[in-house]
Structure 1
Amino acid sequence: MLFFFCLINKSLLAIIIRTIFEELEKEVISTELIQLPDVHIKPCRITQGKDRLACIGKDNCVFKDDDFYEIFEKIKEADGLILGSPVYGVDIGVYALSFVRWFMSEKPDQILSQVRLAPSKVDEQAGILLMNSKQEMATIALTLHAKQPKRGMIAYDKGYIEIYEYPRACKAVITYTEDNHQEMIECGDTKDALYYEITDMEQTILTNENVMHLDFTYDVMDMMSQIRESWGLKYPEEM
């Protein structure tokens, strides 16, 4: 008998997984659904003080004061494993909002937007205007189908910066408006973008340095929640 295990947040995806499980159980395949909001898992302590590298060479976490030990034992015993993660609302906006947050000195506290939803309720086209308490402003134009460059522009008093392929950018052009001369900056390679993200994640875990800027991630999630609410988009569990 097979055993399937799933880690998943409460979302529409949970409904999908349960539907899959129903079909598996018809074939006499045992299943178990575990949702992360329902369990208690502490942050990894492998990099902290006297516990540093404590789990190296072990087949499970050496700490048993949360739910991870038991969950990982189930993972090891399972014949199959399904991992699920929900897709956040404001589907096409997350990259642009992240881009904006990187260049604003603080999180926007005023957000206005318009959206055109596809029949599936995905945000097919959107315009978003943001401003923070320091009067810094950003304008975002997004579309799934129209052909437009993936370009971000940051404007200053004496020039502007254009960043191309901004979700996975490796090139930027600075234009100095006083004499219109340009400077090109190139760094990394677009095809290695995922590798850079993984490297940052590993460095954050090993050194506790905030190279991933998780504070920006929280800000972007908060902005997306505000925009989603203004569009009337709700997850099934919010109904």
Structure 2
Amino acid sequence: MGQVNWGIVGPGGIASDFAQAIKEVNGDIFGVWGRKVEKARDFADRLGVKHVYEETSEMFRDERIDVVYIATPHSVHYSYIMDALHAGKHVLCEKAITMNGEQLQEIIALAESKNLIVAEAMTIYHMPLYEKLRSLIQQGKIGKVNMVNVIFGSCKENDPTNRFFNPDLAGGGMLDIGTYALSFTRFFLSGQPTELHTTVKKHETGVDEQSGIVMKNDENEMAVVSLAMRAKMPKRGIVAGDEGFITVDNFPRADQATITYTSDGSVETIEAGEEGKALQYEVKAMNDLILGEGENWTLPLSRQVMSLMDTARQKWNLTYDFE
């Protein structure tokens, strides 16, 4: 595989983990930019990054950069993605990839016009376990899929100024943990839901703190999603058919699942991949796309997930001024 030169925008915690994954797959990282130059320099020193840029425009103009990984707060993803695409860079952006479907559609149109790759850094789409589970479902292992159930509850510090609850930073559960839950859901459904019912409990700041979502598609498959930002719940996804059900715990980076069979209650364990290599799988998938190997099949899923999030938030009457 040829060398792909990565640039990193936003030297925070997830970026440090992702940088390590780039090093393990690629060997090195070409450049980094941070809002605070000192923080970017410290990041570069710790992780052996070759270049520190003082402006994003400097990174985006650098012809030696092939792809930009964006790990800023999601409220500013759109502007960085658009700037990078205009400069001719491929982009892998952390979830949620944009604030809404309108922004994502603009990004997709620009990427297509420039023959560039843009993708969302969603671990679920690249974990080997999910490819294996989907293959087993297609083989009829649990019969006809009828129901997907996902719960994800996180108990964040009740601080109205932090990014989880601050509306100025696009806080709330949907654009944070909801992206994982709905990505799991859409991955296992045969088609996009066409019916969505939901209710929400809002935080004192006005963002979504808890929500329940019920969906159905034209294939008569249903899904129920429960989200909470002030109530800890397991990260659990269930895919249920008429001959058994699959349970995936810690589903964002899972490497193991169980199948419980309806006929006799027996349980089978399914394993694939390694949880600790979740970000490496993302790096390799993006490298492959840039080098012309494979198809960018995850972007349509990201687009459909964003549409579901838009629909839910519209029903909650929850929008942000910068949308």
TM-score range, shorter chain: 0.5 to 0.7
Match of 1:117 in 2: 202
Distance between the aligned counterparts of 1:35 and 1:102, measured in 2?
A: 24
Q: Give the stretch that moved more between structures: 224-233 or 98-107.
A: 224-233
Taking structure 1 as reference, are residues 37 and 227 closer, same or farther at Cα in structure 2, changes over 3 Å only? farther
> Aligned pairs, how many?
180
Match of 2:251 in 1: 166
User: TM-score, normalization: structure 2?
Assistant: 0.49
CA contact (8 A) 2:170 2:320 kept: no
CA contact (8 A) 2:207 2:318 kept: no
Q: Structure 1 residue 232 and structure 2 residue 282: aligned? A: no
Q: Structure 1 residue 147 and structure 2 residue 232: aligned? A: yes
Taking structure 1 as reference, are residues 204 and 121 closer, same or farther at Cα in structure 2, changes over 3 Å only? farther
Match for 2:182: what amino acid?
A: L
User: TM-score, normalization: structure 1?
Assistant: 0.64
Match of 1:196 in 2: 281
Offset of 1:5 from its aligned partner?
2.6
> CA offsets per residue over residues 183-214 of structure 1, 9 Å max, x none?
10111222221111121122222225225521
Offset of 1:144 from its aligned partner?
1.7
Distance between the aligned counterparts of 1:117 and 1:124, measured in 2?
A: 5
Match for 1:214: what amino acid?
A: L
> CA offsets per residue over residues 151-210 of structure 1, 9 Å max, x none?
100110110000110111111000111011111011122222111112112222222522
Match for 2:222: what amino acid?
A: M
Match of 1:20 in 2: none
Q: Structure 1 residue 219 and structure 2 residue 265: aligned? A: no
- Segments of 5+ residues of structure 2 without an aligned counterpart are 1-36, 38-52, 58-69, 91-113, 117-168
Match of 1:25 in 2: none
Offset of 1:4 from its aligned partner?
4.7
> CA offsets per residue over residues 37-82 of structure 1, 9 Å max, x none?
79845576xxxxxxxxxxxxxxxxxxxxx8x9xxxxxxxxxxxxxx
Distance between the aligned counterparts of 2:183 and 2:282, measured in 1?
A: 14
Taking structure 1 as reference, are residues 87 and 6 closer, same or farther at Cα in structure 2, changes over 3 Å only? farther
- Segments of 5+ residues of structure 1 without an aligned counterpart are 15-32, 45-65, 69-85
Quote the sequence identity (%).
36
Structure with greater Cα Rg: 1
Distance between the aligned counterparts of 1:141 and 1:202, measured in 2?
A: 34
Question: Structure 2 matches for 1:50-61, cutoff 5 A?
Answer: none
